[in-house]
Structure 1
Amino acid sequence: MREVRTIAVDPGEDGVRLDRWLRRRWPHLTQIQIQKLARSGQIRVDGGRAKADQRLAAGAMVRVPPLPDAPKPGEGKPALDPRDAAFARSLVLYEDEEVLALNKPSGLAVQGGTKTTRHVDRLLSAWGEGLDRPRLTHRLDRDTSGVLVLGKTPAAAAKLSGAFARRRAEKTYWALVAGAPKPPEGVLELPLVKKGVGDREMVVPAQPKEPGAEPAETEFVTVSRAAQRVTWMALRPHTGRTHQLRAHMLAMGHPILGDPKYGNEASAALSEGLKLQLHARRLTLPHPSRGTLILEAPLSKEMKAGFERFGFDEHEADPEPFRRRRR
């Protein structure tokens, strides 16, 4: 882009960081390039200097200077392999002009990192780049399967993210846990904090005023039991802390099966051959422009293995297991 442009911030982008706003439109820009343009005053917001991490308000006018050209085809990051594009398309649970919902498989990371080159964020190239590229609105752990929702426009992504932030999204997870929780249903309010435990970082219970501690709340309901050995639980996080469900179930003394990080001797003995038994089963949230979205993901092969081992039938479950607690 060789000319100076002034672009208005869309109402659905209210609160988005300047650097993210720019990279949604010109994904080839690097963070270093954006910071340099901001420091030199070439990028301005409403006529004034702006920092790369500045939050934009709806209606703000962003001055965009001439930008470096995007890499030519074949340069920069490699194009998405056709097989990966087909795989990404095979994960679609629901799609319209504003929303994309995927059934994320266990073992697939949502975003890249050290030595992680195949992840959901990379697979989104199957839908295009720049403004055509869907945007993540929440996260799932690598080994958690189930519903993952994305926005297909900046405005839709902002509204979906806002629904999660304002707790207007109702998440229902299914989990197989060790033992039989008592009481069988309720709400656990237990702050969590990240700490180094041995040679790894974990999320552990904390005192409310402990440095770094964050409030965390999980609602739980028993769906079925295999004697006193294993319980099929429906879990609903009212907050979105990292590893919240896994850490909370361990704190209750009933860790999720197949979890090598947040487990104990009892769960390890029951988990032989099983992957993490945690599945984002159902998600209900406002559609960006109309009505309500109700999205449901079929059981993953990993969860099916756990259900078969302990004799659970997915058709036993109430689609809305938390409804009875509010009567």
Structure 2
Amino acid sequence: MRKRIVQRGKGYSPLPIKDGLNPTRARVPADFGPAPTAWDFVWHLISTQRHRHPDDGPAALQDRFASGSIVLADATPLSPHSILTPGTDVYFYRTPAPEEPVPYDIPVLYEDEDILVADKPPFMATMPRASHIVETATVRLRRATGIDELSPVHRLDRLTSGVLLFTKHRAVRGAYQTLFSQRRVHKTYQAIAAYGPFDTPLQWESRIEKSPGEIQGRLVDGPINAITTLGSVTPLSASEQNTFEAIHGPQPPLARYVLHPATGKTHQLRLHMWCAGVPILGDPVYPTILPAEDEDMTIPMHLLAKRIEFADPLSGQPRAFVSNGDWSQP
């Protein structure tokens, strides 16, 4: 059994993960006001939260203080009247707002002492963010497995499905993250789109930029930061065509595209497919941004992280994990 090493550094928190959720760390800004109390500061954070649970009011805040679950970095509990100074880190638990359940399971493809590999469905974000907190792969799997330290090594877009690698404890996380940051993972994706007679293999190289708050990314001039190889294009059979038309309505002749991204820019494959004239079937952003309120979780985007391959950083042995499905229907 490998010895577990717990270090106080990046990712440290004096509060444990609770019900699959990490505690929040908030730093008191210099311009917050003169000598704020812990109550004033934390209540400001809760009351201005964009996605706030309707029951998360003053009584719920008082319960946090009473239970000692609002603390400093050294785990000292704060009282409502504790005075805070600028630069102080405060830790507490937020209460997620209600979310629409994602109507798909998240099967486990493989698990050992160090890693867990899941088959992420569409409409499920990898990590908690914005309005998607509980209905995320990380939280759902933590709750299902009881492994609080479960953490993704890489990310898939919320609408993308397929192979997602997690570490089960912090001691090995960096080793697996380095595989992705150093591009030592061979990734194979499959996408469904209108048939285009491309000569393959074909490499798309571009510079992608996407600013915070922007829905669409864009191709711009400048040094290349996004590289995708189009490996093959295979027209769908008549029965496959009928399957996708039953979900999306009448379509032009469709094909399965095999894609190998060498880089991992946000929306890279979706942008490259769109700019090649074959946007991915079911994509609500490219070419047209559809209203978020019109989202229908029975109509997925057909981009699948089909396979990942790498040399294991701990054992040196070759690893390969393959998704089992295309998530056509919940």
Map of 1:281 onto structure 2? 306
Following superposition, the deviation at residue 33 of structure 1 comes to 6.3
Map of 2:221 onto structure 1? 207
Name the SS of the counterpart of 1:280 in structure 2: strand
Map of 1:47 onto structure 2? none
Deviation by residue 1:203-258 (Cα, 9 ceiling, x = unmatched): 1111016xxxx610001122411498322111111001001000011111111111
Map of 1:255 onto structure 2? 279
Partner of residue 23 from structure 1, selected from 1, 10, 13: 13
Matched letter for residue 207 of structure 2: P
Partner of residue 183 from structure 1, selected from 183, 199, 222: 199
Partner of residue 123 from structure 1, selected from 134, 137, 140: 140
Map of 1:240 onto structure 2? 264
Map of 2:75 onto structure 1? 67
Alignment check: 8 A CA contact 2:120 2:162 kept? yes
User: Structure 1 CA distance, aligned partners of 2:183 and 2:15?
Assistant: 28
Name structure 2 gaps, 5 residues minimum: 31-71, 79-91, 238-251, 289-297
Partner of residue 185 from structure 2, selected from 152, 169, 193: 169
Give the aligned length.
237
Following superposition, the deviation at residue 108 of structure 1 comes to 1.1
Which TM-score applies when normalising by structure 1?
0.62
Alignment of 1:1-327 (within 5 A): 18-20=9-11, 22-23=12-13, 26-27=16-17, 30-32=24-26, 66-68=74-76, 76=93, 91-117=107-133, 118-126=135-143, 127-128=145-146, 132-194=148-210, 201-208=215-222, 215-226=225-236, 229-263=253-287, 274-290=299-315, 291-302=317-328
Deviation by residue 1:146-169 (Cα, 9 ceiling, x = unmatched): 100011122322111100011111
Name the SS of the counterpart of 2:228 in structure 1: strand
User: Structure 1 CA distance, aligned partners of 2:266 and 2:286?
Assistant: 12
Alignment check: 8 A CA contact 1:250 1:263 kept? yes
User: Structure 2 CA distance, aligned partners of 1:96 and 1:25?
Assistant: 27
User: Structure 2 CA distance, aligned partners of 1:193 and 1:141?
Assistant: 16
Greater share of residues in helix = 1
User: Structure 2 CA distance, aligned partners of 1:202 and 1:24?
Assistant: 38
Alignment check: 8 A CA contact 2:161 2:327 kept? no
Following superposition, the deviation at residue 26 of structure 1 comes to 4.3
Deviation by residue 1:11-67 (Cα, 9 ceiling, x = unmatched): x98xxx9341x139844654226999xxxxxxxxxxxxxxxxxxxxxxxxxxx9742
Matched letter for residue 138 of structure 2: D
* CA distance 1:141–1:203, change in 2 (3 Å): same
Alignment check: 8 A CA contact 1:257 1:263 kept? no
User: Structure 2 CA distance, aligned partners of 1:301 and 1:164?
Assistant: 25
User: Structure 1 CA distance, aligned partners of 2:255 and 2:23?
Assistant: 49
Name structure 1 gaps, 5 residues minimum: 1-8, 37-63, 265-272, 306-327
Name the SS of the counterpart of 1:162 in structure 2: helix
* CA distance 1:201–1:77, change in 2 (3 Å): closer
User: Structure 2 CA distance, aligned partners of 1:174 and 1:29?
Assistant: 36
Percent of pairs with identical residues: 27
Which TM-score applies when normalising by structure 2?
0.62
Alignment check: 8 A CA contact 2:193 2:280 kept? yes
* CA distance 1:24–1:100, change in 2 (3 Å): farther
